[in-house]
Structure formats: C-alpha cells, structure tokens
Amino acid sequence: MGVQHKDLDAALEDMGRWLDANRDYLPQLVLVGGLAQFLFRRCADEANQLGTPLLTTDADFAAGVVSAPADTPTIRELAEGAGFVSDPAIGQAANSSYDRFFHSRHVKLASAPLWVEFVAPLGHGDGRQRDGRDIGSVPLQSGLKAPALRYIEFLLADPLIVDAARCAELRLHRTTHVRIGHPAALVLQKPLIRKKRRKNKQMKDMAYVVDVARTTRYFWPQMKSWIDRQLTGATVKTAWLRRAAKGVLQAFEDPDAYGCIEAAQVYSDFPGDNLTAERACRYVKNMSDALGLRSLADGR
C-alpha cells in the first residue's frame, strides 16, 4: 500500500521539476495530502524526520481562482514546457472531468510515479453547492479544471510555508517557497471526508493522522493555535471544527476503534515498523489532549 524507494526517488525528481516550472504560481497554491506531510517532515524548522512511510506520491494542490502574474504563461503552458502532459480524469459527478499531469518521460500515466492534480473548494466559481454534494469540476484557470469538493477550506486556511529546496531529492537549486496544508488541518479534515473515500484511501487517511501524531509533538502548540485562530475567523466553520474533533476522537477512542485498526493495518506492510493499534491509540490520544479536541467537540 506504500511507496517503494525507487518510485519515491522518481516522484520527488518529477515534483522538483513541477515546482521549478510553476514557481510563479506557488503563492496561490497549497500542497495538500501525503506529500504535504512529507515536506513538512523534511523541510520545516526542527521537524522530526522520522522515517514513517509515504503512502502516495500524488501531488494535490488546493486553490481557488488562479490568476496569471503579468507576462506569465498559464500553469498548463508552463507544465507542458517542462515536459509534463495532461491525462484528463473523470470526476464523480455526471459529465465532469478534471486535469491531472505526469511527466512525459514515463510514457503513460499508469507508469508515472507522480500525478499532479488540483482541488477547489465547493462553491468556487461555477461549482455551486447542491444539497451539500460535490458537483463536479470547475475552472481554476484557462485550460485547467479541478474537482470542487467539500471541506477544502480546511486545507486552504492559514497554510505553512516551507523551503522545498531543503529536500535534496527534489533537486531544486534555489529557494522555493511552497505553501503546505497545516498539520492540524490535515488531521481534522480526514474524518469529515471519510464517507466519500474508497476503503483503501480511508485506511491511508487514518495512517496519516497517526503519522502527524507521531512526528509533530514539538509542533502541537502551533497546531492548537491554528485551531484557535479558526474559531475566531471565518475561513473554517465552527460547526465543521467541532464535528471534525468529534470524528478524530471517535476514530481513535480505544485500540478497537476503526482508526487505530486501519492505521495499524497500513503500517503492517512496512518491515521494521511495529505500530500496533494500541500505540496508534496512544499517539493520537496524546495529540488530541494537547490540541484540546475534547473541549472543542463538546463546544466548550
């Protein structure tokens, strides 16, 4: 279920190419998902570089409307100039499609270790909300479409900025500031999107919650501050935050809870990592206590 070393090396090399080609757009994009947590571990100050497994090399960028800086080609044009090609994907809603990119050196999408995709918040552009359902793809920029999904606001809210050049495998030769989804946002969004995810992705999501809990202890005060800022702002709805906190607590309530079991199953695929459901429960409980998730869930 995880990523082999050779695939990771090739994916990171492609990722470096993508970031370098699109650096003028990076201030408008937020990297989310597994690669965001990977870059946090590798590039954030004082980050714990514990070698927890990377479960996917898909590079998902969250964004609203993307405007082109003066005299700058579009994202699609820059990507194509750097050797990337587009392979449209079919969305969940009827008559919808969105763009995903891979480097042409891999010949076809199926053999490419890195896919670059975009996601937009529900209600963005032409993607108006319909009874709370995801309604298909929306235009981010000329020649670029993305699925409009619920709860993307979590990932766009108050992201971190890291210098991706600190990750040597990306082969970036100058400072490259990348905005990544805040670890607190990555944790809290997972239970909210669970019902719409396939089983294998549900399991990976639980493993990522444990990954954050294992590797961010020093960062828990900043994660608590992120939650407090959202409670006093307008980016993320308070009701969402409370529901998300309750979801994390339920998923890791005890070693028999689904989050603990699924995370342990995912980690069991990696030799040398002896994560158990009991340890997963303890990691997330300690993090939840530090973030005040019980009080948040109870509305206190």
Q: What is the pLDDT of residues 14-43, one digit of tens each?
A: 999 999 999 999 999 999 988 898 888 888
Q: Which two tokens stand for residue 256?
A: 């028999």
- Indicate if the pLDDT at residue 62 is higher than 80: yes
CA distances from 119 to 64, 221, 257 (A): 8, 29, 30
Q: What is the pLDDT of residues 98-144, one digit of tens each?
A: 888 999 988 777 778 888 999 999 865 444 444 444 457 788 888 88
Instruction: Give 90's pLDDT tier (boundaries 50, 70, 90).
Output: low
- DSSP-assigned states of every residue in 282-296: HHHHHHHHHHTHHHH
Identify the three-state secondary structure at position 197.
coil
User: In this predicted model, which residue has the larger pLDDT, 258 or 2?
Assistant: 258
What pLDDT does 229 receive? 94
pLDDT surpasses 90 at 222: yes
Percentage of the chain beyond pLDDT 90 is 55
Question: How would residue 161 be classed by pLDDT, with cut points 50, 70 and 90?
Answer: very high
Q: In degrees rounded to 5, what are phi and psi of residue 56? A: -155, 150
What is the chain's mean pLDDT, rounded?
86
Q: Would the pTM count as exceeding 0.75?
A: yes
Q: Is the dihedral of CA 119, 124, 127, 130 positive or negative?
A: positive
Nearest-angstrom CA–CA distance, 134 and 155: 16
User: How far is Cα 197 from Cα 156, in angstroms, rounded to an integer?
Assistant: 20
Note the maximum CA span of the chain. 56
Q: For residue 107, what are the contacts with CB-CB under 8 A and spacing of at least 6?
A: none
Q: Which residues contact 271 (CB under 8 A, 6 or more apart)?
A: none
Instruction: Please tell me the distance from the alpha carbon of residue 157 to that of residue 182, in angstroms, as a whole number.
Output: 8
Domain boundaries defined on the chain: 5-180, 183-297
Over residues 58-71, mean pLDDT: 87
Strand partners, 31: 61, 180
Give the pLDDT of residue 128.
Answer: 44
